[in-house]
Structure 1
Amino acid sequence: MIDDMLRTPEAVRDAERWTAHNYHPLPVVVASAEGAWLTDVDGRRYLDCLAGYSALNFGHRHPTLIAAAHAQLDRLTLTSRAFVHDRFADFCRELAELCGKDLVLPMNTGAEAVETGVKVARKWGYRVKGVAPGQANIVVAEGNFHGRTTTIVSFSTDADARADFGPYTPGFTVVPYGDLAALTAAIDENTVAVLLEPIQGEQGVVVPPAGYLPGVRRVCTERNVLFVADEIQSGLGRTGATFACDHEGVTPDMYLLGKALGGGIVPVSAVAANADVLGVLSPGQHGSTFGGNPLACAVATEVVRLLATGDFQRRSAELGVRLHAGLRSLVGRGLVAVRGRGLWAGLDIDPALMSGREACERLAERGVLAKDTHGSTIRLAPPLVITEEEIDHAVAQLAAVLAG
């Protein structure tokens, strides 16, 4: 029997006592997980409809990924990039092939991938485009979420993420998301990159207007500017394609990847681009002690191989149709709007009914875990291993919450 000291209320209080309050988690204390399901310390099961913000696209403890991790743990876990290990080349080659790019630069977290992309774009601007020293500018979008480092929050428009963390890093121009005319007008001779999420996740799974991403690609090509796509949440099968950009036939100059790349086991991120972009880096100019470590490469290589089959992308696309149909049936019955692609949805709840936080608390009481974002908006991003029956169950529980 689980010790009484591990029961949910006590564990929540202990976590709050000993942890900086940079998160406001739901009062659920997870003890184990399998596939699309979590079990708390009291033995209660929950359907996971957040999947670690897409870090668990392949579900909890996917057997192929767990086996790869176990096998690598018995051999080698860390060398640093001071040496080459025997898992490194396969990972970089197979990920580069999946992305259709020449080179990969492995890091650890999504924020590190974004920081890497910013540094590479600036260096490319100075060395290749010929921008005057110290003048490089990157165009970004309102409502963006690219991480929480000092540089990244400098161009955030979210007051919670940005306020009181200045002085802020210069060199960024913010334009409305989805407004191609504004983006085009913001580009000048010092612009080195446009950095965008193809679908804005933290903002509430906001899909840009049709034609926007192709327009961005066209303008970047015409103006000799790098198109950098942050696919950290939207990529690797989440939207029913390998990358969200694929839905509009767009290939960026640089992919920023993370979350699901680590298979829900280890933090893995990467930047993928061609040699004329990533080739601007020289030894000593950028790196990471843990970036591309053997354990990370062993797991992430298996992630890439799972994606190379196309099975998870097809599954996300097919099950996404069912999920969105079920959610749209609730519009006018407590939901105001539904957005998204594949197994990713942003739901706007009638604010007269409840806040997003309250909706997630009520869903948790009914055994479904989701996450609120701004105001009365919540997000659903279940693991791609979820079944039709489990999707129907999640929609039914949401309907019951909305009905009161």
Structure 2
Amino acid sequence: MTVTTRLTVQFTALITLLLVIVLGAILVLFKIGADATTERDLRAASRLTSAQIAPGGIFVTVFRGDTVTTAAGQPSGLVDQETARRVLGGAGPVTRERVVGGRDYTTRTIRRDGVVVQVTAEDHRDEATLRRLASVLLLVGVAALGLAAVTAHVMARRAIVPMAEALAVQRRFVADASHELRSPLTLLSTRTQLLSRRRADVPADVAAGIDEMTRDTRALTRILDDLLIAADPRGTPPDGVVDLVAVAGPVVASMTSDDVAIVLSATADRVVVPGSAPAIERLLTALIANAVDYATTTVTVRIEAGRTATVHVIDDGPGFAPAMVRHAFEPFVTDRGAEDPGGHSGLGLAIAAEITHRHRGRIHIEAAAHGHVTLHLPG
């Protein structure tokens, strides 16, 4: 689903919800008003002293002793003798909802000056008006919804086009700048490696400087790679299947060194998830590289199979600073623990979060004090 379509659907859904609330409120208010009108008409009709059909289709029945007088044309069975006897015996005004002949009625019975007056109104008096109102509101709502959907689509396209153009310009700039920087960086890296081979022929302080130049060159190359991915982190769309164990093995092997050991374990020989193998490899590389940067001696990578595949990456370093936990996956955030190793671009975890989002997964810091990052990918 494109961004334009997603924005259109979201805006249309919001307008639909608002229309349902407004139209529902109108119908409820109309029904409340109609009920209040019926109650008022019943009270007014109960003041009559002769049997007749009152205005508004309300039937009046008068009880004088044993004589019951009904209005001409009143439906049979409408007289409520039992309630009339109760009111005549001293009960207060009684209002009842009744069904007579398959129709709904509201009856109010009251005693006045030794005479019992019973007024009855058919509840469907306002139903036709209510149905017409509901039909009109439905038609208006559908028309308004269609107009809102078209307007939302047009406005979303107008809003997205400048953003897309600006993003394309940014990506082209980063790609061009990275391309221009890669050549001198490659040349510089080659020269430092040549100098490293001759370190035995130079003083110790010069050899140390050469080593620092080599590390700085690698760090710059790594930052350049991160910038390229950050400029367009989408990469290959997740349209295949990936074995996390098979992908993690080479990544771990390439990063294991004499200074930091990486321990890889898995609960199954194969842990398969849908996605793009290059993207998943970059994701695991970013997580493990971040852990290696801060580890003291060991990084543990544990892969767990299940309906949702889980990857735990744990280092034994100083852990995440409490203030960083909420911002760890934002670009250019590097404050972790007591120190920040050199060559950190602050893009690794941000790239990991973007790739995870594209694969409909979740990533979070499990334990800040132990540098524990957990990744969940749907299986």
TM-score above 0.5, yes or no: no
Bigger radius of gyration, 1 or 2? 2
Q: Which has the higher strand share?
A: 2
